[in-house]
Structure 1
């Protein structure tokens, strides 16, 4: 089952979400499902709302469908992820949230809820979908209670953080159009130089790097997961020609689109 198309809440490991390609998590992208992640081992990095965040043990992330994000859990990182149809779980916030959970009781509650969902889906029984939805609802209650306890007075985002977040929203909306960076800056009423500086400060990567990473994720997904011709993928992602698309892929992966597709097929 594809994590992006699960029709009921479903539990995965981060490794299963990556499906053999770490780029599926580490490049900027968005899911068509709501995503809850609970990390249990390792140290890594997450990009949420255009902001770079450290990722550690007992961190909870809620990433709504359509929100751009990336996660690098690190070499020793491990975590569980629940996907749910977009908007199906009452109370889940509609913008990304990261919680650092230090209370042992709260940690145990989250683990127990996820283990219950895991047991439910491991043993097919009648009303499995309804049971999965009930477990997801309980996880939503846990998340909201924990957020209120962990972040009772969360500081307002700075102007720079708001700008970086707004850029990721626009980038997710328009990354297939081939728009130049100047267009994004104009839509945000800032100069390209200022936008680049703000994204580098907040995310540790330039605005062009964020946009290019999003395009690369979509390109690799299309090459690996579909049989669509390279020329069609290039056209759908706003490239002026298949040759330009090929140079883009080679620059980032050192392989041509065709070679990248063959390598992925051979690895399955």
Structure 2
């Protein structure tokens, strides 16, 4: 799908730190974007491919004129995606055209749903991951991660896994063997965000997704996300969105009916 389709018209769906259950291959063909993956912020320009493994904490801020495609691939299937993040700046024109053609073909199959579309999508996905592995071989060796980057990436992985628990940022710092101050300083250097921002954004994304896409009661959503009370959860949502949870749900329902 296009990146615009992936965001479903709501900037928060990609702009807040979150993780998904599928591997993602992002391919930018126009404009600029900014991605934070594994806690590390990076610029993503034209003809950049970004492979994001399933379960990885990430966000994607799209520029006003940016355009790109994304392919989501379930883990455990025949299409082999890397288990680490890869950011490739593809300079060879034939390689650019090859990936764009594969993505376009997959988008047509997904949209038109012709006979045997599932088989065709699987075949295209396998070819796309072959393209990716070839590009990874040709791509320059990435710089060795600094101690700060390794710390932040470890923290990002923990947040992706445990954000729905009552753990506080200080608890994560303790488990990582550092002080909260050091963790926050490292997060700022690598991503421009504080360590607390990681937790806030991941919880906010999950909350909005459950409120706007799901049918659970607000109280049940609060419990699932580790909040002590529905009242505190509602204040959290109001503070970060300017709306109450019930208002967000009503607005989302109106948009669905209008579509």
TM-score class, shorter-chain normalisation, is over 0.9
Q: What residue is the counterpart of 2:22 in the other structure? A: 33
Matches within 5 A, 1:77-88: 77-88=66-77
TM normalised by structure 2 equals 0.95
Moved more, 153-162 or 171-180: 153-162
Q: What residue is the counterpart of 2:124 in the other structure? A: 135
Where does the alignment leave 5 or more consecutive residues of structure 2 unmatched?
none
Number of residue pairs aligned between Structure 1 and Structure 2:
256
| Aligned with 2:97 (options 99, 108, 112) | 108
Q: For 2:78 and 2:29, how far apart are their aligned partners in 1?
A: 23
Q: What residue is the counterpart of 2:164 in the other structure? A: 176
State the secondary structure of the residue aligned to 2:209. Answer: helix
Q: What residue is the counterpart of 1:7 in the other structure? A: none
Q: 1:28 to 1:89 in 2, by over 3 A?
A: farther
TM normalised by structure 1 equals 0.92
Q: For 1:20-56, what per-residue CA distance to the aligned partner results, in whole angstroms no more than 9, with x for missing partners?
A: 2110000011111111111111112100111000011
Q: What residue is the counterpart of 2:45 in the other structure? A: 56
Q: For 2:111 and 2:214, how far apart are their aligned partners in 1?
A: 29
State the secondary structure of the residue aligned to 2:59. Answer: strand
Instruction: Answer yes or no: is the 8 Å Cα contact 2:79–2:122 preserved in 1.
Output: no
Q: For 1:221 and 1:124, how far apart are their aligned partners in 2?
A: 27
Matches within 5 A, 1:129-208: 129-151=118-140, 153-208=141-196
Instruction: Answer yes or no: is the 8 Å Cα contact 1:34–1:87 preserved in 2.
Output: no
RMSD over aligned CA atoms reads: 1.3
Q: For 1:264 and 1:27, how far apart are their aligned partners in 2?
A: 18
Are 1:69 and 2:61 an aligned pair? no
